[in-house]
Amino acid sequence: MRTDNHIHLRHIMLWNFEKGMFAAATFREINQFFGEGTIGQNTVKNWFRRFKSGDISLEDKEERGRPSDFDDQALLAAVEEDESLTTRILAKQFDVDHSTIVRRLKKLGKIWKLAGWVPHELSDQNKANRVRIFSDLLQRNEETPFLNNWSPGTSHGSSSKIPKERRSALIPVKLPKEFRRPYTLRRPCDTLRRPTVF
């Protein structure tokens, strides 16, 4: 039998602490009765340490760190007003850390896509558009199959042979100084095919 209500386990730990049992024995007893993995050994030790300090409250303590006075609705309104705002701009605007904005937007179901914040899940209209486009592409492929017109040996899709270039005699040319460049575009052994007339 496994319990998901932690307050009951805390009552058991407090009872065992009052009886004088050790944390390790309480850990073994709870896991034997409720099943392995019900509670961790460090959790039991932390609760026993808390009981020894005189705090017998079974409620969770306030979270550590600065209390958050951040309003998710204000963030959502700002994003919906101007979808081009980045998380860094929003962080400056709300005077919070950048990671806080990222976490809150993820929790609100917003993702950054195509330079704007959009809902993470597809709307019914988006789904209908995807189905329509897929159906159109499938029908088009059935009418004129794409792969039948494609040949892997060529870049332009037809299977005809590409004529080879004619061989021509190479004419070495030395350009006048005014046409020379301070850097070379070709290797030193390359030559121009014919001189350029300006």
CATH number assigned to the domain covering 6-52:
1.10.10.1450
At 28-76, the pLDDT tens digits run: 999 898 888 888 899 999 999 999 998 888 887 766 555 566 778 888 8
With cut-offs at 50, 70 and 90, classify the pLDDT of residue 149: low
CATH of the structural domain 70-147, one choice from 3.30.160, 1.10.10, 1.20.120, 1.10.287: 1.10.10
102/87 Cα distance (integer angstroms):
7
How far, in Å, CA of 144 to CA of 141, rounded?
Answer: 5
Q: 13 near 57, Cβ under 8 Å?
A: no
Q: Write the pLDDT tens digit of every residue in 113-141.
A: 665 666 667 788 888 998 999 998 888 88
Query: To which H or E segment does residue 46 belong?
Result: helix 41-52
- Residue 128 to residue 116: CA distance in whole angstroms: 22
In the chain, DSSP finds a helix count (H) and a strand count (E) of: 7, 2
**How is the chain split into domains, by residue range?**
6-52, 70-147
Q: Give residue-wise pLDDT tens across range 93-118.
A: 888 888 888 888 888 887 776 656 66
Note if the pTM is more than 0.75.
no
Q: Do domains 6-52 and 70-147 have the same CATH topology?
A: yes
Residue 112, phi then psi, degrees to nearest 5:
-90, 120
